[in-house]
Structures are given as C-alpha cells and as structure tokens.
Amino acid sequence: MADQRAPAFNTLAVHAGAQPDPTTGARVTPIYQTTSYVFNNAEHAAALFGLEAFGNIYTRIMNPTQAVLEARVAALEGGTAALAVASGHAAQVIVFHVLLEAGDEFVAARQLYGGSINQFNHAFKKFGWKVVWADADEPASFEVAITPKTKLVFIESIANPGGIVVDVPAIAAIAKKAGVPLVVDNTLATPYLFRPKEHGADIVVHSLTKFMGGQGNSIGGIVVDCGTFDWLKSRKYPMLSAPNPSYHSMVLGETFGDFAFAIAARVLSLRDLGPAIAPLNAFLFINGIETLPLRMARHCENALAVAGYLEKHPKVNWVNYAGLPGNRYHELAKRLVPKGAGAVFTFGLKGGYDAGVKLVSKVKLFSHLANIGDTRSLIIHPASTTHSQLTPEERALAGAGDDVVRLSVGIEDSADIIGDLDQALAEV
C-alpha cells in the first residue's frame, strides 16, 4: 500500500498550495498581475458574488498568487484557511474588525512590538475599541483583566523586542474559560519553531515581512483561521453569528463552519477596508517560505552563539535570550520551542542610553534599521527608535529600556557576526 502519511513541514514549505500552472505548465507559481477576472457567464458571476461558489472576482479581495501563499501558510500553521493582506498591522486590523464592535474591549500582553502598542493605545480608539493590558510573565493577570466586554485576548508567542517566550498554553486556558478567542502573533517564532494552534490559539497572525519572507524585500501580513472557535455558541460575534445584510441574511458561521472567520475576514473586512496584498509581494513570500526551515535553523544556531558571546562581554550588563541556560525563560523554551528560541533578543549595555546609540553607529556587518527576520544581521536601539513614542515607564514594561539593544541575528557566518559586535563594542 502506498504511504499515506501527511507531508512533513519541510515538504509543505516547498509544495503546499502550489501546482504547475494549468495553462503554461510553469512550475513556479506565476505573478497574476491583474485587477479582475472574466466570469464564465451571468450565473457564474452571481454565484461568486453571493458566496455560492468560490473563485476570483477582484484582486482587492483575492488573487491566484495570493491564494497559493494563503494555502501554504495555513498548511504550515495547521489552520483551516488564511487571508494574506498588505502588512502585519493590516492583519491585526482585519482580525479586530471582524470580532469587535464599538465599545468592546480586548486584553493584550504589554510585551509586544512597539508599533502594536501604539496601534492598540491610539489608532484603535477611533474604532471605539479599548485595550486592557496584562503581563505575559503573569498569566493570571489576563484572567483579572477579562470583563464581560472582552472579546479577545492578544499575545505574541515570542515577544518583540525582548525575545520573551510566552506561556501560550496557560493564557489559552484562561481565554477558553472566558469563552473568548486567543489571537497569537507568531511572527518571531514562525510555525517552524512553534504552532500556536497546537497550544490553544484560535487565530494566528504574522508579519510576513519578517522571517516568513526572510529577504527584507516585501511587506505583507497574514491571518490564519485555526478553525477551533465556536462562533455561534455565545452569539457575541455578530459578523459571524448574525444574518448578514451584505449576503442576503446569510449567517457566515452556519454556512462556512470551521473556516467562517477566514471568510468573514475576506468578504467583509478586507472587502470594505481594502488592505490588499500586491501579487508581486505574495509571489516573493511564496518563494521565501520555501527556505524557511533552513533559515530558521541557522538563525537559531547563530543567535545562541552570539548570545553566549555577549553574556561574557565586560561591557554587557545582561542578555535576555531564552536559549541560554539560566535564562528565566529557558525551561519554558525547552518545552514550547525545542528547536530553538528564535533569532531576536535583547541585551543591556552598562553605558545605558548613550552607549546603545553609539554601538549601533559603529557596527559594519550589522545593518542599523527598523526590521527583523532578514537573512542579514540587524541591530537597533529601541528606546531611540521603535519605542521612542512611548513613555519611559511604557518602554521599560515593553522590555525596551534605555540600555536595551535589540539584535535580529542573520544567517551569515557566526564568527563574522561576533567579530563585528566585538569591534563595535570596543568603541563604546
């Protein structure tokens, strides 16, 4: 009997969602650079617009290149469906737009990317959505923060900028008890290191810009529907549980079952808000993901070597990398991310703010820029850049204090990465 086992992760990274082009035979997924698509006939058009058939209508909503990317990431995350959009921030807006109404609240870990903190604190107020902050290091704080107005819980699996490994299962249990979905930003871990669905997540988001694409050449985000939440049970989510006037009073949760969230995100939120991903960017992400397992293994290997070097350097006060024995997150990392603790971590310079600013100006191999997840090694001083809009107290709580330097360790030779840091630290 032929082997019927499911393809392994490395195979899915190369093949999931893709087939040779049926018209030309092209093996690589083409860039379908088109705005719209010809309908077979009037009945076909009506069926597409009425959600009675699946197919392409308009590239703001869907595109064949995009569809391959979505199928691939959904397969890697173990989800039922996915929606690719213009950026990681756009992915978050889409998720919240589906789930929240004006006046609703959500609980979020304060250990987040600085841009997400700004988005939640300021931009989301215009929608009438209120954030309540909890501490990712204290899962019980999420239970305290949840109220009858809470519609979701939001965390990162490995938190940016600190490289903090979050106890996702513990927080998932709290969200489940409260009857609200857990949304996990899995950007820093990627599904190669961690699959949130297997630990209780209901929705996964990524900034594809980072490790998934891996080349620093394109912007995009994605939302993965894990298919695990019963949207009809509580009737708290009207876009999924109530008759929808856009589609002849169809109840999306009843019609589409375990991928209803992904459908609502596409045909309601993306349709009306419009943060569509460009076909070229979708193409670049498809190709980047093919090497994701190879890159992540090298990223983690190099990061551990660099963290070990910095831990012994006389000008370094502390290193926060969960892969190091003795780190407060090390045991949790061994349990949740046994293949590696990622490539992003922070360390503190004894010289504080001024030393951080000077260090980033003295590196040569490292690139000083506001990104992570590139094949190249990247460095930044968050207090003077990505987290500069926050108060000193907010920066400290987010793991971006004045002395903090963040590294995103690339896939170059580790000796060259360490050599560059060594010469730059000599100047501090």
Q: pLDDT tens for the chain, 428 residues: list them.
A: 456 788 999 999 999 999 999 999 999 999 999 999 999 999 999 999 999 999 999 999 999 999 999 999 999 999 999 999 999 999 999 999 999 999 999 999 999 988 899 899 999 999 999 999 999 999 999 999 999 999 999 999 999 878 899 999 999 999 999 999 999 999 999 999 999 999 999 999 999 999 999 999 999 999 999 999 999 998 899 999 999 999 999 999 999 999 999 999 999 999 999 999 999 999 999 999 999 999 999 999 999 999 999 999 999 999 999 999 999 999 999 999 999 999 999 999 999 999 999 999 999 999 999 999 999 999 999 888 877 777 888 888 777 889 999 999 999 999 999 999 999 999 99
Per DSSP, the three-state class of 316 is: strand
Same domain, 61 and 207: yes
Same domain, 279 and 363: no
The residues near 5 (Cβ < 8 Å, ≥ 6 apart) are: none
The strand pairing partners of 181, in sequence order, are: none
Residue 350 lies in a domain: yes
Phi then psi for residue 134, to 5 deg, are: -130, 175
**Inter-residue contact 302 to 411 (CB < 8 Å):** yes
pLDDT of residue 162: 80
pLDDT of residue 161: 79
For residue 402, the domain's CATH number is: 3.90.1150.10
Same domain, 306 and 214: no
Indicate the residue among 234, 253, 288 that finishes a domain.
288
Cis geometry, peptide bond prior to residue 293 (ω within 30 degrees of 0): no
Other Cβ atoms less than 10 A from the Cβ of 397: the count is: 16
Residue 248 lies in a domain: yes
Same domain, 17 and 165: yes
Residue 1 lies in a domain: no
Other Cβ atoms less than 10 A from the Cβ of 302: the count is: 22
Same domain, 250 and 321: no
Same domain, 305 and 277: no
**Inter-residue contact 203 to 226 (CB < 8 Å):** yes
**Inter-residue contact 302 to 420 (CB < 8 Å):** no
Same domain, 128 and 236: yes
Indicate the residue among 288, 321, 340 that finishes a domain.
288
**What is the C-alpha to C-alpha distance for residues 20 and 287, in angstroms, rounded to an integer?**
15
Indicate the residue among 237, 265, 288 that finishes a domain.
288
Instruction: Tell me which amino acid residue 19 is.
Output: Q
Distances (CA, A) of 365 to 99, 301, 380, 409: 44, 18, 13, 11
pLDDT of residue 1: 42
Alpha-helix runs per DSSP H in 186-237: 190-193, 231-234
Same domain, 242 and 346: no
Residue 3 lies in a domain: no
Domain that holds residue 60: 9-288
pLDDT of residue 257: 96
Number of domains in the chain: 2
pTM reported for the whole predicted model: 0.95
**Inter-residue contact 15 to 27 (CB < 8 Å):** no
| Residue given tokens 């305290």 in the structure block | 144
Same domain, 277 and 370: no
pLDDT of residue 418: 98
Same domain, 216 and 197: yes
pLDDT of residue 215: 94
Residue 356 lies in a domain: yes
**Inter-residue contact 201 to 59 (CB < 8 Å):** no
Residue 2 lies in a domain: no
Residue 302 lies in a domain: yes
Residue 4 lies in a domain: no
For residue 268, the domain's CATH number is: 3.40.640.10
Same domain, 141 and 184: yes
Pairing of strands 130-134, 150-156: unpaired
pLDDT of residue 3: 61
Same domain, 302 and 347: yes
